[in-house]
């Protein structure tokens, strides 16, 4: 996963200038994601954390809601984690959704060997539908646990029919419904369901994607979907004997701690060794 943090200081000189700036990050499906909070009095600032589905060239556009002034813009890019072991698994492509209300299911079977235990679970999903806002999509694990990925997603314009083609990942920077754009994004689930709930489970078995269409007037296609199972790195091994630096159950005495002051702060008395 590639992530970036963008920070913008609207008035680095801290003078009397009133400048309400903003920045946008993208593009995603032809859209730029704007970042602008409600504060309009200088000095103010904006910040955003974004994750992208694909490597490539992304842009930051700076403009002003009102006023003119100077700004400092800082960008930090966090590259992929090269130490994490991840394995993708793909479903058979092309399942029809509708037309009409109903349930479409697609499965991925993960073999028992080699044994994989879920650390971070990533879902890639591509859906074309005449009205994606009619869809409720959930993932069911081999143990029968079901997590809602998204439910009746809103769109910025009435009658718009964008394709849902992105990645769902609990380690992403924004929620999927944050900007009403669902193509080319890497985002978290809607919020009441989290992929981390599968963490620690054995991955072997049948995973089922449920796509529920709750309107009887249109249809579409589940073009493709996949799971990527990322295992946690092994726990560090302690070499040699462990040494206890400090231990006290505070049942017998205060262990040498004293406290005083308005905030009633505690401190361990220093002992001088000669």
Q: Which two tokens stand for residue 8?
A: 């913008």
What's the total number of domains in the chain? 2
Task: Say yes or no: 74 and 103 in one domain.
Answer: no
The torsion defined by the Cα of 98, 100, 103 and 105, in degrees rounded to 10, comes to: 0
Domain boundary among 78, 107, 129: 78
Q: Residue 113 falls within a domain, yes or no?
A: yes
Task: Say yes or no: 43 and 170 in one domain.
Answer: no
Tell me what pLDDT residue 158 has: 43
Task: Say yes or no: 17 and 96 in one domain.
Answer: no
Q: Which two tokens stand for residue 257?
A: 């701690």
Tell me what pLDDT residue 270 has: 58
| Cα torsion angle, 251, 253, 255, 258, sign | positive
Task: Say yes or no: 152 and 206 in one domain.
Answer: yes
Element (H, E) at 93: none
Domain boundary among 231, 248, 266: 231
Q: Residue 274 falls within a domain, yes or no?
A: no
Domain boundary among 44, 78, 112: 78
Q: Which residues contact 43 (CB under 8 A, 6 or more apart)?
A: 9, 10, 11, 14
Residue 149 dihedral angles phi and psi, to the nearest 5°: -85, -50
Task: Say yes or no: 69 and 187 in one domain.
Answer: no
Q: Residue 134 falls within a domain, yes or no?
A: yes
Structural domain span for residue 165: 85-231
Q: Residue 197 falls within a domain, yes or no?
A: yes
Q: Residue 238 falls within a domain, yes or no?
A: no
What string of pLDDT tens digits covers the 274 residues of the chain?
Answer: 577 888 888 888 888 777 888 899 888 777 788 888 888 787 788 888 888 777 788 899 999 888 888 889 999 887 766 667 889 999 998 889 888 788 999 999 999 988 899 999 999 999 888 777 788 999 999 999 999 998 887 664 444 445 778 899 988 888 887 776 777 778 888 877 899 999 999 999 999 999 998 887 788 899 999 999 998 877 666 677 777 877 877 777 777 788 887 778 777 765 544 4
Cβ atoms of residues 13 and 70 within 8 Å: yes
Task: Say yes or no: 142 and 69 in one domain.
Answer: no
Q: Which two tokens stand for residue 121?
A: 């679970």
CATH of the domain at 119: 2.60.120.260
Distance separating alpha carbons of residues 25 and 49, to the nearest angstrom: 10
Task: Say yes or no: 224 and 102 in one domain.
Answer: yes
Task: Say yes or no: 190 and 208 in one domain.
Answer: yes
Task: Say yes or no: 97 and 223 in one domain.
Answer: yes
Best CA proximity match to 148, nearest among 203, 196, 194: 194
Q: Which two tokens stand for residue 241?
A: 């004997």
Distance separating alpha carbons of residues 203 and 207, to the nearest angstrom: 9
Q: Which two tokens stand for residue 25?
A: 């990050």
Q: Residue 252 falls within a domain, yes or no?
A: no
Tell me what pLDDT residue 111 has: 95
Task: Say yes or no: 100 and 223 in one domain.
Answer: yes
Q: Residue 22 falls within a domain, yes or no?
A: yes
Distance separating alpha carbons of residues 127 and 98, to the nearest angstrom: 12
Tell me what pLDDT residue 186 has: 85
Tell me what pLDDT residue 82 has: 61
Q: Residue 187 falls within a domain, yes or no?
A: yes
Distance separating alpha carbons of residues 272 and 274, to the nearest angstrom: 7
Tell me what pLDDT residue 160 has: 45
Task: Say yes or no: 118 and 220 in one domain.
Answer: yes
Tell me what pLDDT residue 274 has: 46
Task: Say yes or no: 92 and 167 in one domain.
Answer: yes
Q: Which two tokens stand for residue 159?
A: 């009658």
Cβ atoms of residues 223 and 128 within 8 Å: yes
């Amino acid at each position: 996963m590639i992530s970036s943090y963008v920070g913008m200081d609207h008035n680095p000189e801290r003078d009397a200038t009133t400048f309400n700036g903003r920045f946008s990050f993208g593009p995603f499906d032809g859209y730029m994601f704007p970042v602008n909070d409600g504060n309009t009095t200088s000095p103010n600032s904006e910040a955003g954390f974004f994750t992208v589905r694909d490597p490539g060239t992304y842009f930051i556009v700076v403009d002003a809601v009102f006023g003119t002034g100077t700004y400092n813009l800082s960008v930090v890019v966090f590259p992929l984690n090269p130490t994490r072991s991840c394995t993708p698994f793909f479903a058979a492509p092309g399942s029809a959704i509708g037309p009409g209300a109903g349930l479409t299911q697609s499965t991925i079977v993960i073999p028992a060997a080699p044994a994989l235990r879920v650390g971070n679970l990533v879902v890639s999903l591509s859906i074309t539908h005449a009205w994606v806002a009619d869809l409720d999509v959930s993932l069911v694990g081999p143990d029968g646990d079901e997590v809602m990925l998204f439910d009746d997603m809103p769109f910025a314009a009435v009658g718009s029919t964008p394709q849902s083609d992105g990645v769902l990942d609990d380690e992403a920077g924004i929620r999927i419904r944050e900007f009403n754009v669902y193509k080319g994004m890497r985002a978290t689930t809607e919020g009441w369901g989290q992929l981390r709930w599968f963490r620690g489970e054995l991955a072997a078995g049948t995973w089922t994607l449920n796509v529920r269409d709750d309107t009887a007037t249109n249809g579409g296609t589940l073009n493709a979907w996949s799971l990527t199972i990322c295992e946690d790195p092994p726990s560090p091994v302690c070499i040699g004997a462990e040494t206890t630096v400090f231990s006290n159950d505070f049942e017998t005495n205060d262990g040498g701690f004293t406290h005083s002051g308005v905030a009633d702060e505690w401190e361990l008395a220093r002992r001088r060794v000669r």
